[in-house]
Amino acid sequence: MTKRLSALSGPPANAASHTDLPNTPSQGFLTQLALRVLHASRATFTNTLDFVVPPSCPLCRTMVQMDGGLCGSCWRQVPWIEAPVCNRLGLPLAYDLGPGAVSAEALANPPEFDRLRAVCTHDGVAPRLVHALKFSGQRHLAESLGAMMARAGRALLLEADTVLVPVPLHPWRQLHRRYNQSALLARAIGATTGAPVLYDGVKRVKRTRQQLSLSRGDRLRNVRGAFKLTPKARAALAEKRVVMVDDVHTTGATLNALALTLRSQDSSMRPKHVDALVFSTAVVQESISTI
């Protein structure tokens, strides 16, 4: 069964449950009955929609089994990242030098976060998938891409004290786009792994320009001072393993700026680790160096 109707434009709303109602057998029964009818109606409508408009590959429109799924041909065009990878930036390495191997890019420009993992490089069909999610309104893609990210980032998500923090959009940009793709991806990762998502821990207080056409230096200047922690984050993230979630890693300007903000608190309130998980990452330079 597809879930094309389940993608929301942000964090899921706090739906009232039967525990919020007077604790009487009749109301509890009616609430449960209403929920079952709602779920059955939604399933029937979704199945009917799939019959009328079958799910298709988001890239070539070939019919597939589930929304957000790729056809076999497009699947083979995804530039998957496989081991060995740089321990810091998750970039593919030419050959395996054992634990701790890092790329020349990580040595030349050490990130402010601890580790990054990605599903694939930002080549082949990857940019088209990101564009479809980010700019073409195909929010249902977040579920399948998020599931891929959960598998690629499993080493970052093993501990019980892990908290997912999606990269926030500026309010005006989110109003224009109607949703935050990073929040949708984080929700999908959380649904797969059980890791909690802190949607409102960080605000984007600076209305930055689109990063696509900017140079590396301009990107760094563009996001400097862009983020601010909310009071909720100070307690929720203290001594936790934070995994920042975004769609793409290119120069690292956005993730570095967010990592610096997360680590700007007093030592007793800081996260003990800050990692990053993205769908695709730009390969700047391969290396076989180690530290």
Q: Indicate the helix (H) or strand (E) that contains 279.
A: strand 273-281
Q: From start to end of 112-213, where are the E strands?
A: 116-121, 162-166, 202-204
User: Domain limits at 267?
Assistant: 79-281
Report the run of H or E that residue 242 belongs to, with start and end: strand 241-249
Fill in the amino acid letter for 283: V
- pLDDT at position 8 is 35
pTM: 0.77
Give the span between the Cα atoms of 224 and 217, in whole angstroms.
11
Is residue 60 situated within a structural domain? no
- DSSP H or E segment with residue 278: strand 273-281
52 occurs within a structural domain: no
Where residue 130 sits, what CATH number does that domain have?
3.40.50
Exposure letters 22-45 (e unless 16+ CB within 10 A, then b): eeeeeeeeebeeeeeeeeeeeeee
Condensed to tens digits (0 to 9), the pLDDT of residues 67-93 reads: 778 899 999 999 999 999 999 999 999
Q: Provide the pLDDT for residue 289.
A: 46
Percent of the chain with pLDDT over 90: 50
Q: Is position 72 within any domain?
A: no
What's the pLDDT score for residue 277? 98
Strand 273-281 with 116-121, pairing: parallel
237 lies in some domain: yes
Q: Judge whether residue 52 has pLDDT over 60.
A: no
Number of domains in the chain: 1
Report the C-alpha gap between 151 and 166 in whole angstroms.
Answer: 17
